Every structure is written in structure tokens, then in C-alpha cells.
Amino acid sequence: MLYHLFTYLDREFDLFGAGVFQYISFRAGMATLVSLLIAMIFGGRLIKVLQRKQVGESIRDLGLEGQMEKKGTPTMGGLIILLAILVPVLLFARLDNVYVQLMIVSTVWLGLIGFLDDYIKVFKKNKEGLAGRFKILGQVGLGLIVGLTLYFHEDVVVRQYILADGSTSAVNASRQYTDVHSMITTIPFRKNNELDYCNLFSFAGPLFEGWSCYLYIPFVILVITAVSNGANITDGIDGLAAGTSAIIGLTLAIFAWLSGNTIFADYLDIMFIPNSGELTIFCLAFVGACVGFLWYNTYPAQVFMGDTGSLAIGGIIAVLALIVRKELLIPILCGIFLVENLSVMLQVSYFKYTKKKYGEGRRIFKMSPLHHHYQKLGYHESKIVGRFWIVGIMLAILTLATLKLR
């Protein structure tokens, strides 16, 4: 809102200093600061309200050290994260930008699903919360909205440079260009790293080539569902999900900044996505919200984010990666989420297989998700979280290295 207000004041009244709101860097910095302040100030007040309402976490005894001490810790703290994201974005981002609109919808959509799940657990005293099929249905619904918007919206374009032979390239190889609606993405670690979803099955003839574009929407649904569930599973010990997500968010902010800036895109020889630079403001508000939440969520946690936060942050990360055409980097960038997810899948699958084959279920890990395995080995949860953060930073650096490692 402030962008539109000060743009008007600058244009109509030549207001001194109003032009600074034209700069993404200024607005992104302000969004970060405001999100931190909201999380830290509002967070303390919300915790007191949750304590008065007795919105405490019900803990199942899994035999983990220090686990039962957390009984009664307020949950639904994801409301802090949601507020600390949405308020700065509404204040400092361009609200006529389709990417910003899509991120606001994604945040509210999955935040509501997570809130409903937490509400059922806390107030209806149902430990299972929202039925899994309804969670999946909500994630699929968001996937459809995001997929259809990215597929059909006229403002979702990439810049294609026209070469001498009449062909086009998404990297700056010519002074002549055209902005086109295209379903191309980036393949990591590969030269000429453009992949067009519409050409996936071009080898099978024109019939299959025409239909392959529509595989993009199911793929979007898969990405959003997988990453949001991965964040949800990772949220098991104090500070793990929020800290990991902050690292991922900062990496995506760099990608959004570079992809939306024609000078940097030219220098790095990467795809230029018009208007995507505005996402830098959302990304840094997201980072500020996660870091501000850690003020209360690091060990020993004063509040848990609950599904209100974990489902939302996972969905936000997935949609951001899709918009900046870096979804194929998710297995690297979100490696912590991936490993946590895989540990559960492997544990359950192996247990069922061995029970059928030997008559008793056997386990690969002492407990899944993976962070609980290390707790069972005797590691303190603050040490586990710290080491997971270090691995997350390493994965983020590797992800950024793909800008030049081809």
C-alpha cells in the first residue's frame, strides 16, 4: 500500500523522499525490519493470550529426553509468522503484481488449513486434528490455483532473446528480445539449461507434445504437497523448522532478486523473469518472520508454530521456487525436508515389509523422523538443530552455486 501511496505523492506533488519507495532494495529492507519487530513484539503478547486460553500442546510420550517437560507449551504460534509476513508485504510490496498476489493467497490458504488442524486438536481435544484427506485436498486446491495461474495468466512471462537464426534463448544472447508466456524452467548443473514442460514428450510425436504442457499442473500440485508436508514433518523439535526455512527463504530471495534484475541476469547468463524482483520483498519478510519467531521458539521453546505455521511455510517455499523457475532445485535446497520425509517413508515401508515377511516389524532408524533418531542416540535437541542448520546452509550454498556450475 505504501508503494502505491508514495508513488502517487511523488508523481502528483513531487514529495521529497517519496521516490525511495521505487527501489526494491529499500522496501525489502524495511519489510525485513518490520517483520522482525512484529514477530518479536506481537509474539510475546500472543503467547500470553494462548496461555490464558490454555492453548497448550498435548504431548504423546515417545520416550524422548525432556519431551514431557514441553507439555502445555502454547501452540498455534504460526499465527505470529503469518502476521509477520502479511503485514510487511501489504505495506511495502506492489499489490498489483501477480506474483505477490499469488504468494498472499498461498500464505492465507495453507495458514487457514493449518489453523483448522490446530483448532481441532486443541479445542475439540482430537489429537488427530484435521483428517489427512482434507489436508491433501486443501494442498491440491492450492496447487490448482498456483498451477493454473502460472499456466494461463498473461503477466507470467519470461524474456526470450531473438538470435540471428530466428531461434530464441532465455539467456541474454542478443539485444533483441520478446517477453513470452512460456513453461520453461531451469535444469541445474547443465549448460543450455532450459527445460520446456511443453516439449517433454516431443520425441513421441505432435499428439503427445500438445498434451505434455498439462503435466505442469499436476507437477505443481506434487511440489506444493511434498514441500508443505516436509516442513510439517520437520517441525518436531525447537527451532528446527523455522531456522531451516529462514535459510531457504534467504536463498530464494537471492534468486528472486537476480532473476528479476536484467543487469544481474545478463551478467550471470540466467533467465530473466520480468516483475519477479518484487518477490524479494516477500522472501525477506518471510525470513524476518522465521527469525523473529525463533526469538520464542529456540530451545527451550516458549511457543510451537503448530500446523498453522509449518504447512504455510512449506507451501510458501514451494510456490516461491515455482515462480522463480527453480523448482528442480528443491531436492537440494530443501534437502532437510526431503531427508525428514524420506526417513518416515523408509521407516514405515520397511516396518510393514519385515512384518509381512518375518512376522515382526523391524526398523531402520531408532525413531522417525530423522531428528528423533538422533535424540534416541542421546544428542541434545539444541545440538541436533544447530547441526541441521549447518547442513541447511551448506545446501543453500550448493544451490546458489548452480548459478555458475553448469
Annotated binding-site positions for Mg(2+): 232, 307
Q: Would you list the DSSP string of 35-97?
A: HHHHHHHHHHHHHHHHHHTT-BPP------TT-GGGTT-B--THHHHHHHHHHHHHHHS-TT-
Amino acid at 59: I
DSSP 8-state secondary structure symbol assigned to residue 301? P
Q: Which three cell numbers stand for residue 185?
A: 524452467
Question: SS3 breakdown of the chain: % helix, strand, coil, rounded to 5?
Answer: 65, 5, 30
**Half-sphere exposure (Cβ direction) of 371: Cα atoms closer than 13 Å:** 27
Residues annotated within a binding site: 232, 307
Q: How far is CA 239 from CA 3, 233, 287, 302, 393, in A?
A: 33, 13, 14, 11, 15
C-beta atoms surrounding 272 within 10 Å: 26
Q: Which three cell numbers stand for residue 294?
A: 525463533
Cα gap 90→97, rounded to integer Å? 12
In degrees rounded to 5, what are phi and psi of residue 74? -55, 140
Work out the widest C-alpha separation in the chain, in whole angstroms.
80
Burial 125-142 (b: 16+ CB within 10 A, else e): eeeebbeeeebeebbeeb
Burial 43-67 (b: 16+ CB within 10 A, else e): beebbeebeeeebbbeeeeeebeeb
